[in-house]
Amino acid sequence: MPKTQKITFSPKVKEVYSKNYGLVLNHSGVQICSWNKKALRNQGVCYKQIFYGVDCHRCAQMSPSLVWCQQNCIFCWRQMEWMKKIKMKPAEVDDPEEIINETIKQRKKLIVGIKGAYDSNQILFKEAYEKFPSHWAISLSGEPTIYPKLGELISRLEKNKEVRSIFLVTNGQEPEHLLKLSKTGCLPTQLYLSLDAPNKILFDKINKSLYRDGWKRLNKTLKYMAKFNCRRVIRFTLIKGLNDNENYLKNYAGLFEKSKTDFIEIKAYMFLGLSRERLKIENMPYHEDVVGFSKKLALLLKNYRIINEHPPSRIVLFKRKDSKYEDIIRKR
């Protein structure tokens, strides 16, 4: 039988993405975010370190499906127009262990130049460069749940004693894959669900799912989330003039309560990357806009309360009152 050909990046994707990303084998990628760089230069840390205690300087922000997604969200920083719904088959994709190893190599190439910066923290740099990443953010770009060996990828990371936390961000368009992760014990330390619309009409306008039943799939994921045995977060991107209408507050409250999520992050849309071709700078809320929206939402959420905020990131954090989890993730 002929050997199955692997899914791979197109020449155009390689040309464009290789400028800012570390391309990993045939369909994965890694990038160093601005907060990662700031952490290595004593210029502050991202809200995830403040909220949850993750190691910002030892973060590997990566995706096993860099340019494959079932949605074309208008606020996406990436080239959403290149994203396409795709069903990856196990025989077509790279091995999780190989992805992990190559991600580390590419990540080192991306941070090595920071060592020579005049304000580089050499102790933190040594840890970031020489040690295995302690925090893995499986998000970055594309939709991770398209990758059929995601559970194996998470499992292999969990077995490494250096790994303290694994975050998985999903758009909720593959609820059955998430259910499979739960049943096989391969859920991450913290599961994020992106939810940015109060109803199907706005969902179709903002998220542009390539599935006809995208809104139904999202709600199915919300239902499953209520029973998942891991830390759960709903990430809501606030877009001024689009999804911030006060008339939507009851809808949002109902969706959030339905999920029984442990945390809710209300975060401002940021006028960055290619989203600037789809939205205007006026669509980017100030931190006070996020706080104002959150306080109004808090009045409708019986089971949640505001516990933190990070003005530089324009984000407010809610926590479920009966959540069994501490805010800070302790070392395993």
What residues does each domain of the chain span? 11-320
What does the longest C-alpha to C-alpha distance in the chain come to?
Answer: 62
Q: Evaluate whether 128 touches 97 at the Cβ level (below 8 Å).
A: no
Strands 315-320, 304-310: pairing kind: antiparallel
- As beta bridge partners, residue 306 has 318
- The tens place of each residue's pLDDT in the chain, 332 residues long, gives 456 778 888 888 888 888 888 999 999 999 988 888 999 999 999 999 999 999 999 999 999 999 899 988 898 887 766 667 678 888 899 999 999 999 999 999 999 999 988 999 999 999 999 999 999 999 888 899 999 999 999 999 999 999 999 999 999 999 999 999 999 999 999 999 999 999 999 999 999 998 999 999 999 999 999 999 999 999 999 999 999 999 999 999 999 999 999 999 999 999 988 888 899 999 999 999 999 999 999 999 999 999 999 999 999 999 999 999 999 998 65
Q: For residue 3, what pLDDT is reported? A: 65
Q: Evaluate whether 132 touches 59 at the Cβ level (below 8 Å).
A: no
* Total residues belonging to the chain: 332
Q: For residue 11, what pLDDT is reported? A: 87
CA distances from 269 to 37, 120, 172, 192 (A): 21, 30, 19, 17
Q: For residue 1, what pLDDT is reported? A: 44
Q: For residue 192, what pLDDT is reported? A: 96
Strands of 159-289 (E only): list them: 165-170, 190-194, 231-238, 263-268
- Tell me which residue of 229, 230, 232, 223 sits closest to 176, measured CA to CA: 223
Residue 299 DSSP symbol: T
CA distance 31 to 164: 19
Structurally, at CATH architecture level, domain 11-320 sits in: Alpha-Beta Barrel (3.20)
Angle at 6 between CA 157 and CA 163, to 5 degrees: 10
User: Chain-centre distance of CA 234, in angstroms?
Assistant: 10
Torsion-angle region of 100 (φ positive above 0: left; ψ -120 to 50: alpha; else: beta): alpha
Q: For residue 269, what pLDDT is reported? A: 94
Site of tokens 């045939």: 26
Alpha helices in 11-158 (DSSP H): 11-17, 34-40, 47-52, 96-111, 122-130, 150-158
CA distance 19 to 208: 27
Q: For residue 127, what pLDDT is reported? A: 92
